[in-house]
Structure 1
């Protein structure tokens, strides 16, 4: 076979592979994850280090709650891009989900890596909101004996405040609600809702009225006002 023919044969295979990737992306965007996964896996066979494909497969594994599989994909990406904040955050997030579904002994063994992933993401990207939210939740929910700290949680809530007032007030409201300071939580969640007026801010404040403060009338008034 001539070099000329070999070139066109190679080109046709490459175009077919690219077509698989594009179809897989479209399926992913339409949330047809199982179908997208098949095409991404096929594409990965001929492009084993394709970063975006590894990320998509990690995302799909996460959605399927296959934590070890997701961890494996994100690890491969981190080898390529050790200074990418998003990849450190995603890796920490699936590690965190694995820890939540593990026994206490196994979960304790993962905590250091989870914390380090979120801290690294926050350090690499001074505007990474998700990493700071993850640190707020981590430090609030962990017992103090294994590293939990309201002081640290408040530190990252303050950083969120500097990046996004809505996220800052939501984070402070979350901390207050967790420690059953419901009146303070109401103040912060009302501020978040006044700024954001979103389904998220509405739901957080509504749930506080309905389930924690036991004030169904306030919850009803909030609902009527939001629906308008």
Structure 2
């Protein structure tokens, strides 16, 4: 009898919540973020601990560059599921973006937590590619006096190479380009094209030719090669 009462009272409520989640998820995938946010917030009121809803709301906040909101949602996810690497990665990313938009003094106070969040993601998931990319970006952009380090960036690039040849070449090319060693960057991007042939690798090389090496004809040729490859 108690089981029947439970089904009668709560099953319609659960079905309503699920249908709203599916509606919000569809809106999110269609990039209608404001509408999706409104529906997800309704779902969260009925189930405040729903992990996927919290994650979607964090992602929407990130899309809107509402870093404090994103940080709050991702921090909640870390508390609910501390063993999930991606939540530490997303938290570190949102915190890093807030630091970037903050004054230098405030940003410096966030750097350690940003780094440790990405490192935690890697410790939980040794194959986490995005966290290594994030650390590379952090180490090349930070001044040496506050923890920047080309050698550490290269260390993570080497780790990427062991996980994915393309990411290894692309990340090393990115490091070389950042430090204006354009000929070395060119060779790395060419290796990435040979290893994987992704659109990103072609466009990174074309961008290097056009904007850094001042060789627009080479850039045009690379894009044409890619377009012909896609059409074949």
Offset at 1:3? 8.5
In 2: Cα distance, 1:227 partner to 1:101 partner: 37
Residue equivalent to 1:38: 38
What's the TM-score, normalizing by structure 1?
Answer: 0.96
In 2: Cα distance, 1:64 partner to 1:141 partner: 24
In 2: Cα distance, 1:125 partner to 1:12 partner: 38
In 1: Cα distance, 2:5 partner to 2:83 partner: 42
Question: Contact conserved, 2:54 with 2:77, CA < 8 A, in 1?
Answer: yes
In 2: Cα distance, 1:59 partner to 1:184 partner: 36
Q: How does 1:1-228 map to 2 (within 5 A)?
A: 4=4, 7-228=7-228
In 2: Cα distance, 1:102 partner to 1:145 partner: 18
Question: Contact conserved, 2:88 with 2:121, CA < 8 A, in 1?
Answer: yes
Offset at 1:217? 2.3
Cα deviation digits, residues 190-215 of structure 1 (max 9, x gap): 11112222221111100111111112
1:82 partner SS: coil
Question: Contact conserved, 2:170 with 2:201, CA < 8 A, in 1?
Answer: yes
Cα deviation digits, residues 119-157 of structure 1 (max 9, x gap): 111111111000010011111111010100011000000
In 2: Cα distance, 1:89 partner to 1:124 partner: 10
Question: Contact conserved, 2:182 with 2:213, CA < 8 A, in 1?
Answer: yes
Q: How many residues align?
A: 227
> Which sections of structure 1, spanning at least 5 residues, go unmatched?
none
What's the TM-score, normalizing by structure 2?
Answer: 0.94
Cα deviation digits, residues 11-51 of structure 1 (max 9, x gap): 21121111111111111111111111111111111111111
Offset at 1:222? 1.4
